[in-house]
Amino acid sequence: MIMGQLSRFWRESEHRYRLMGTRCENCGRVYFPPREVCPTCHRESIGKMKDLELSGEGVIESFTIVHEAPPRFSRQKPYVLALIKTEEGPMITGQIVDCDPSEVEIGKRVHAVFRRMGEDGDTGVIVYGYKFALD
């Protein structure tokens, strides 16, 4: 695969720039990250787990402000990590960005945003990940 094709492959990957989960067609539960087998239905769910794009909308259920960070994140401190209850049901841990930590409160609505996380190895392929911003 030549370099142009490689970068296009990563940009167009199904899970890039989208929050992809799965829904069990047996019991209706939604999971993030995606699962092959439903932890509730077990064997009855085999072959019944369907991809589901999550809206990225949710509510802050709990959060913490990180003041002492690992070296990789030291330039971002203080930063907020939160538990987000998504509209579809799954709870997602994510960083709250684009606000002062004092603005974050339990019950506030948020939406997913995708941000550059770094580069992958010597190839320079840019890696993106999800975070959340206040509505």
Closest CA to 57 of 88, 103, 80, 23: 88
Separation between Cα atoms, residue 48 and residue 133, nearest integer Å:
33
* 90 prior amide bond cis, ω within 30: no
Return the sign of the alpha-carbon dihedral for residues 20, 21, 23, 28: negative
Domain segments of the chain as ranges: 19-53, 56-135
Against a cut of 0.95, is the pTM above it?
no
Q: Say which residues have a Cβ less than 8 Å from residue 114's Cβ, sequence separation at least 6.
A: 17, 128, 129, 130, 131
pLDDT recorded at residue 64: 98
* Res. 120 pLDDT band, cuts 50 70 90: confident
pLDDT recorded at residue 3: 45
Structure tokens at 133: 């911003």
Residues 76 and 70: beta-carbon distance below 8 Å: no
Architecture of domain 56-135: Beta Barrel (2.40)
Q: What is the pLDDT of residues 58-72, one digit of tens each?
A: 999 999 999 999 898
